[in-house]
Amino acid sequence: MADGTARPNVLFFHVDNLGFGELSCYSGGPFRGTWTSRIDAFATDGVRLTNYAPEAQCTPTRSALLTGRYAIRSGNQAVPLGAPDGWGLVAWERTLGDVLGDAGYRCAVYGKWHVGEGAGRWPTDKGFREWYGPARTYDEALWPEDPWYDPQRDPVSHMLEAHAGDAEPTEREQLTVAIRRDCDAEYLARAEAFIRDAADADEPFFAYFNHSLMHMPVLPREEFAGATGNGDWADSLAELDADFGRLLDLLAELGLDGDTIVVFAGDNGPEEVLSWRGTPGYWEGSYFAGGEGNLRTPCIVRWPGHVTPGVVTDEIMHVTDWFTTLVGAAGAELPADRVIDGRDQLPWLTGETAESARDGFLFWMGSELYGAKWRNFKLALVAQKYSTDPPAKLSTPHIVNLLTDPQEREPLDVRYLHSWTATHFNELIADFERSVRAEGLVPPGAPIGFVPPVSPA
């Protein structure tokens, strides 16, 4: 809406596998071969979070964002490998698309979905009017280049398109390296048309834009190839920066920038595959692991007149909080019949309160609880910083003070054991366990009609 009413538009710009050390404003810049000037300027207009926590992998983070619930609650705690049709969010789960759509928002998804496929599980079954992108992940673009791959025998990955009312998405181009390289240009064109249509109709919108970078294979489009002189990675960062800037320019052109909540956020820690390895910057760790480099990713939010510009904060925010915060900002109703883990962070982001609404969270790798964070302390139950490290279940949990040991090198500080923090960690774990006794978990691969069992109050 352009008239300053209580229903702001929402643009959520989700970046794939974005390490903490990639962007200039998060210590990247010359270290990574290019300045991300548009993102840096955007950061000065809003709040830049340095302790924003996604989940450990793409699917869990997307599930947590869309439902406001830890991914283990929805059965989406791991990236599915070779999963048949019928996996993902069950019909009972309510997404941001469902809630905002019911509140009168136009909702659309661009880019990968990765939280389900099969009847009843596509974006257009979950409150979104349209979608274009792959069902799963971009490394499937490498399939056709594998000499052992046979498209006549083996699965073929396609870009998919769906509109509200479609029984099934329509298969478009096969996902190849060339399509993967250029797909964000298609996402941009579709998102721009969607935003223009919503503006013309004077309807609030929720555009959930999932950029393909920095997910492998990390390849820049032709207009960015060679732009930095520092290789494909730096060129791809320049592309990411320009693409985000293009959507910001569109909002300004349409006069929507003053009444649009724009969130720029990574979905987990950096790539670890050697050919396209990213960086966690100041921290250590990659996706699919429990290092701090996977528990922090860039996140910046701008909402002129509401979010205080130029703020940098190390207060904790978890990905589930965006569900609750955005629903509240839109004046919509939170689902009252289920456990919601997300906290309303609007009072903190707008400066009404000095502190985040949360001081900790739990983190998993798949179905195994890897640990918990509370303020600047971390409880590690399993030691694994990088996805290439073998996980080691600890007989004695480690308590790490991230202010004095940010790289998590010392399992024990003989001077300060910090064992008193166990009270706070145990409280976080006990709260979760109580919630599970009240409302059961959705098992991975649950049928579409599954409803979690609820214990009598």
Q: What is the DSSP letter of 41?
A: H
**114 belongs to the catalytic site:** yes
CA-CA distance, 106 to 197, in Å (whole number)? 10
Look at the block and give the residue holding tokens 């283990």. 72
The predicted structure's pLDDT at residue 374: 98
Is-catalytic flag, 183? no
Give percent of the chain with pLDDT exceeding 90: 93
Q: What is the C-alpha to C-alpha distance for residues 291 and 184, in angstroms, rounded to an integer?
A: 30
Q: What is the DSSP letter of 140?
A: G
Positive/negative CA dihedral, 197, 200, 205, 210: positive
pLDDT of residue 303: 98
pLDDT value at 82 more than 80: no
pTM of the entire predicted model: 0.97
CA 58 vs CA 114, 132, 210, 375: distances in Å: 7, 18, 11, 24
Contact 419, 399 (CB under 8 A): yes
Name residues whose C-beta falls within 8 Å of residue 199's C-beta, 6 or more positions apart in sequence: 2, 254, 256
pLDDT at 126: 98
The residue-averaged pLDDT of 430-456 equals: 96
Distance CA 380, CA 411 (A): 9
Confidence at residue 80, expressed as pLDDT on a 0 to 100 scale: 81
Beta partners for residue 14, in sequence order: 210, 265
- Asked if the peptide bond before residue 456 counts as cis, ω within 30 degrees of 0, the response is no
pLDDT at site 389: 96
For residue 314, give the amino acid letter.
Answer: D
How confident is the model over 127-181, as pLDDT tens digits? 999 999 999 999 999 999 999 999 999 999 999 999 999 989 999 999 999 999 9
> Residues 186-243: pLDDT tens digits?
999 999 999 999 999 999 999 999 999 999 999 999 999 999 999 999 999 999 999 9
- What span, in angstroms and rounded, lies between the C-alpha atoms of 143 and 139? 8
Whole-angstrom Cα Rg for the chain? 21
Contacts of residue 189, defined as CB under 8 A and 6 or more positions apart, other chains included, come to: none
Query: Is pLDDT at 3 greater than 50 in this prediction?
Result: no
- Catalytic annotation, pick one of 25, 58, 107, 299: 58
φ, ψ of residue 383 in degrees (nearest 5): -95, 115
Record the tokens describing residue 44, joined without a space: 């000065």
Residues 10-41: pLDDT tens digits?
Answer: 999 999 999 999 999 998 889 999 999 999 99
What backbone torsions phi and psi does residue 423 show, to the nearest 5 degrees? -60, -45
Q: Identify the active-site residue in 14, 25, 107, 114.
A: 114
Q: Return the closest-CA partner of residue 24 out of 7, 44, 39.
A: 39
Q: Where are the domains of the chain?
A: 9-349, 360-438
DSSP-H helix ranges across 254-387 = 292-295, 320-329, 346-349
Measured CA to CA, the distance from residue 200 to residue 10 in angstroms comes to 16
What pLDDT, on a 0 to 100 scale, did the predictor assign at position 83?
A: 63
Tokens of 345: 């962070």
- Residue 309 main-chain phi, psi, to 5 deg: -75, 150
Residue 1 has pLDDT above 50, yes or no: no
Beta bridge partners of 159: 134
**420 by DSSP, 3-state: which?**
helix
CATH architecture of residue range(s) 360-438: 2-Layer Sandwich (3.30)
Confidence check: pLDDT of 85 > 90:
no
The 3-state secondary structure of 283-318 reads: CCCCCCCCCHHHHCCCEEEECCCCCCCCEEECCCEE
Cα–Cα distance for residue pair 70/320, rounded to 1 Å: 7
- Whether pLDDT at 379 is above 50: yes
Distance between CA atoms of 420 and 153, rounded to whole angstroms?
Answer: 58
Distance between CA atoms of 327 and 320, rounded to whole angstroms?
A: 12
Which amino acid would we find at residue 351? G
pLDDT 10s digits, 339-358:
999 999 999 999 999 999 99
Helix (H/G/I), strand (E/B), else coil: 145: helix
3-class DSSP state for residue 176?
coil
First and final CA of the chain: distance in angstroms? 41
Superfamily of domain 9-349: Alkaline Phosphatase, subunit A (3.40.720.10)
- The three-state secondary structure class of 112 is coil
Helix (H, G, I), strand (E, B) or coil at 24: helix
SS3 state at 393: strand
